[in-house]
Structure 1
């Protein structure tokens, strides 16, 4: 996999959560999100309990709460979708702040917002305590399809390279006096996108040839063979097991 690649979502730390193997954290986060999704939307209190559990993990990982809250902006598309549901959904309607909204739409919006927010927060916390390279190695340890792991690895490595290429092309356009001001400039932007695709494709071919010349046969070597202790699995399982208890209680009270 090569050297580590630090991303803006990662926050360096020395907590016990940081030291957990990546594949252990991936399994714990995945199970936690599954439990959250399986929770009945009517159990409003349960989602508050999930938020408290995540806050406890944030404290254990010594990640500033603001670091996680700011990165929840990733769920803006889900928020926009949820806001529209009460207006477009069918069924009985109720008055809220002078507006007649669909009851099923309100429940649907709450369902999307609550589960989406908690899921995104869990993902942000996972990324904040695990380096991207370690996440890829974790997927490798979990026997994910090798091709998918390689695609993700290349995306991580060359995403910034392509973004830098686009930045240089933008600077070149602006140095020649070009500024996109409306639809009449869309043609130039379309040609820029085409040129970027060609450059990226050519760079990919050069990278592939370089890898083949160094012995690449279509699979990446397993770079992490370190064992995992039962204590690490137990520590990571605390979050999904606690969430499962909340979920079961929520179903029993609905």
Structure 2
């Protein structure tokens, strides 16, 4: 499994050149601002702001869709129930089900907020190498243990994914069929094996780091220099 979150961090745009600390603060504040919006008349503004930022970033549209697909499926399973159970004003009937006006408006609000927040987050992490983003958070005062945990979680998530693919391939070669109802016990054993391997890997990595002197916090404040344009963007 390849790390693809920052695969377009090499592009040359104003957002890519923006000083990482200023970019992180600005876009995180924008994300929180989006989350506090409850007025429907502000939704076009949110869409316009996030859309312009994404166009300026020059990230491919397929890159955005690929990262919205999985969280969008989980969101859809919950959000589709809102028009049926939220509110009192009936718009129309679908058989025995009543589609309500208030629920539709809430669905519209949540959908736009969801899309704008995720788009802004993708811009934040897609226009800067992930390691640079972690260094920027460290320079802004994030405790070094949290910064390291963020970096290691991101790095080894893909290692665990590779292990899972290898084990699934080995199981299929031995005749395993995941859709068979009698295979739940085997799938549970697979999950347990992945968890045990993950714990053992983390223990080995931590011991190797301790032997190499890990534990002394490093400051990255001198690594970043913001100019007047960076501050103006902020």
| Offset of residue 96 of structure 1 | 7.2
Give the equivalent residue in structure 2 for 1:18.
Answer: 16
Q: Give the structure-1-normalised TM-score.
A: 0.80
SS of the residue 1:10 aligns to: coil
Give the equivalent residue in structure 2 for 1:38.
Answer: 36
Query: 1:72 aligned to 68, 75, 78, which one?
Result: 68
Query: 2:4 aligned to 3, 7, 10, which one?
Result: 7
Give the equivalent residue in structure 1 for 2:158.
Answer: 160
Q: Give the structure-2-normalised TM-score.
A: 0.86
1:118-137 → structure 2 map (5 Å cutoff): 118-137=116-135
Where in structure 2 are there 5+ consecutive unaligned residues? none
- More RCO (CA 8 Å, sep 6+): 1
The runs of at least 4 consecutive aligned structure 1 residues that moved more than 4 Å come to 96-99
- 2:54 and 2:119 in contact (8 A); partners too: no
Give the equivalent residue in structure 2 for 1:48.
Answer: 44
SS of the residue 2:78 aligns to: helix
> Are 1:221 and 2:203 an aligned pair?
no
Deviates more, 1:187-196 or 1:89-98: 89-98
- 2:5 and 2:125 in contact (8 A); partners too: no
Partners of 2:178 and 2:127 lie apart in 1 by 39
- 1:150 and 1:220 in contact (8 A); partners too: no
- 2:13 and 2:58 in contact (8 A); partners too: yes
SS of the residue 2:80 aligns to: helix
Partners of 1:9 and 1:19 lie apart in 2 by 14
1:96-111 → structure 2 map (5 Å cutoff): 100-111=98-109
Give the equivalent residue in structure 2 for 1:244.
Answer: none
| Offset of residue 88 of structure 1 | 1.5
Closer, same or farther: CA 91–117 of 1 in aligned 2, 3 Å: same
Query: 1:85 aligned to 82, 86, 89, which one?
Result: 82
Partners of 1:179 and 1:224 lie apart in 2 by 53
